[in-house]
A and B are shown apart, each in its own frame.
Chain A
Amino acid sequence: MDKGRDWIAEFRYWHESILAALLIALLVAARLADPPFFSIVVQTELSTHVWELALLALPMTMIIITSGIDLSVGAMMALCAVILGLSYEAGISPWVGAWLALLTGVAAGAINGVFVAWVRVHPLIVTLATLAAYRGIAEGISLARPISGFPESFAVVGRGNILGMPIPGAIFAVAVLLAAVALARTPFGRSLYAIGNNEAASRFSGIPVTRIKMWIYTISGAAAALAAILFVARRNTAKADIGIGMELDVITAVVLGGTSIFGGRGRILGTVLGVLLIHETREFVSWKWDKDELNLIVIGALLIVSVLLNSFFSQREAE
């Protein structure tokens, strides 16, 4: 980079800055238009709607950076929830059930990983297939019936607070830290970008591409299990139809956050901002107008904005 270029060209956080500006603009507008929306009570309460999406967005960022995709996150969530529910029904403590759910998530993610990394089928095809298969298994083994009646002590996981923070929020905060450090500061993180930029070159340069891909799809499964546990605890119900369409929300948040759908580019900070922006926009629109159909329009509009932003910045980078 030559010295003639000013800091505007060198600044690497334009996408994130614009998202942050949009977010702040939205919050200021919301604050002026409807003060009660902005109180901590309301915001804390509304935040319970976002944690599952937020958790799933972290591994999804890693996967999309390698130019992969995981469409099966919602289905894995449903499968894990059903396993938790069925094991509770069979008299197993929900805490043990949660571990079983986590194992299920890891296994489901690993199956995706095997097909993507070893068999080398395109992740779009693999996870489209497992999206249907996992949902089908969840419906089959639960006979599509909801299972509820979990003890109050377990509900705390989804509804309780720790240090004044909702427990799912605390879990998310830890996950964000881990993901951000892994992505920005470790060889593992750098390999993800390398794979996304040029997979063949990465293989030749000795990056364990197969193993790394295996890892990220498995982590995605584990995150889905965690999301399922939080969901079941919060809503006191395990059933096969939870998380339908979740994959679209997650991918929207990640892409809005500046991760390139073609791989090689993206950061956790961007994803967090993307999740926040989607969440706040959605909640505010719903709060203000009470029209569910508006929500779909807003998500669509946000996705278009993000694609425009994305192509604008990737062009700049290419110049």
Chain B
Amino acid sequence: MRRTAIVFSLAACWVLSTCKEQTPTSGEKRPALKAANEKITICLLPKKKGLPYFSSCADGALQAAKQLGNVQLIYDGPTDGSPEKAASMIDKWTLKGVDVIAVSPNDPNVLAPAMKKAREKGVHVITWDADGVPEAREFFVNQATAREIGYALVDTMAKDLGGAEPDGEVAIITATLTAANQNEWMKYMKERLPTYPKLKLVAVKPSNEDQKLAFQVAQDLMKAYPNLRGIFAISSVAFPGAAEAVKQAGRKGSVLVTGLSTPNDMREYVKDGTVVSVVLWNTLDLGYLTVHAAEALTRNKLKPGAASVEAGKLGTKKIVGDNILLGNILVFTKDNIDQYQF
């Protein structure tokens, strides 16, 4: 009986699979160019599905797809943020023969083989939100360069401290001392600081992506530097931790916290005045620009080496190297934070 069962199921599989061989993709090919009226499919892969940050990116992407017409947008990603699952999804879309896969890689090295294979099979691959291995993608939709973020952080702090010549001691709470993004931002923060000669950077402390540790570090900083006027908390985990420390110490108004995070994480601190400004980029626009760039690639409006790309309501966006720059830092304050729900 067992043998019969095995033979039967194997035979059934074989018959079914060979009766009409259909291969959506075969062999290596170059990406096909699509006429303006031909329908294209764009897959948008977030690091983790279900995070408000990525959901708001997807809202922007959907808006762009609707405006463009003839664009089918698939938004899917691992709900547990697992890179293996993300790679499997890229495999699947490659087999389906979609036109563009836009990836926010949660682990560039795990995704690289799948992304390269997609390109070999004639699918356009771009990255957005976070970059991947350069040879695995054609363009990177970069929400903000390290320079823009670094400068914006320092400028925001200076503006919020007020006065023609903002002065005082400031400190940085970073993610980890080896975090590539944060180190890049700090490089430009230090480049920008001399613009405000009376701002003095007294310390750089890691918080190891741990909110409790960020809370402690902020407390220690306030004790060690009684004249501290400002804290830059430059990770989405460190920011709420530092804000909570300042709030509990009753130093609201005398120590200013600023940094990068999402509106939802910081809303209560912005409302109660502990935090004046939250620096981020417009996530809706990031999704919107990604879809426009993807569409432009398939319609041959965007080619390697291009210097700019048209992006609907955002106008013309600059391209530096293979980075498509969104380039507008968004600062959330008491006045506008309720317009952003993520």
Contact = CB atoms under 8 A, between A and B. Distances in A.
Given A39-B17, A45-B91, A292-B85, A16 B23 contact: no
A292 B78 contact: yes
Contacts of B82: 241, 244
28 contacts: A13-B2, A13-B5, A20-B8, A24-B12, A35-B20, A39-B21, A39-B22, A40-B21, A41-B23, A42-B24, A46-B92, A48-B91, A148-B109, A155-B113, A234-B113, A235-B113, A236-B113, A237-B107, A242-B84, A269-B5, A273-B9, A286-B88, A287-B92, A290-B76, A291-B76, A292-B76, A292-B79, A293-B49
Given A41-B95, A287-B96, 9 more contacts: A13-B1, A16-B5, A20-B5, A39-B21, A39-B24, A41-B25, A244-B82, A269-B2, A290-B76
A245 B113 CA distance: 23
A23 interface: yes
A48 B117 CA distance: 14
A38 interface: yes
Nearest to B88: A49
Question: Mostly helix, strand, loop or mixed at chain B's interface?
Answer: helix
A17 interface: yes
Nearest to B19: A31
B9 A23 contact: yes
B307 interface: no
B24 A237 contact: no
B35 interface: no
Contacts, number: 107
B1 A11 contact: yes
A314 interface: no
Given A20-B8, A290-B76, A42 B95 contact: yes
Interface string B83-103: 011011101100110000000
B13 interface: yes
Q: Which 10 pairs from chain A and chain B are nearest by CB? A: A148-B109, A290-B76, A36-B24, A237-B110, A237-B109, A290-B74, A41-B23, A292-B79, A42-B95, A20-B9
B80 interface: yes
B16 interface: yes
A41 B18 CA distance: 11
Contacts of A291: 76
B224 interface: no
Interface of A: 11-13, 16-17, 20, 23-24, 27-28, 31, 35-36, 38-43, 45-46, 48-49, 146, 148, 155, 159, 231, 234-237, 239, 241-242, 244-245, 269, 273, 283, 286-287, 290-293, 296
B74 A235 contact: no
Nearest to B49: A292
A31 to B, nearest CB: 5
A38 B24 CA distance: 11
Contacts of A41: 23-26, 95
B91 A235 contact: no
B132 interface: no
Interface in B1-58: 1-2, 5-6, 8-9, 12-13, 16-18, 20-26, 43, 49-50
B92 A286 contact: yes
A39 B23 CA distance: 6
B201 interface: no
B319 interface: no
Interface in B166-225: none
A136 B325 CA distance: 40
B287 interface: no
A118 to B, nearest CB: 35
Given A38-B17, A46-B91, A245-B80, A24 B9 contact: yes
Nearest to A16: B5
A236 B112 contact: yes
Contacts of B110: 146, 148, 235-237, 239
B238 to A, nearest CB: 18
B84 A36 contact: no
Which of B5, B43, B91, B95 counts the most A-chain CB atoms under 10 A from its CB?
A: B95
B150 interface: no
A38 B95 CA distance: 11
A234 B83 CA distance: 13
B259 interface: no
Contacts of A148: 109-110, 112
B77 interface: yes
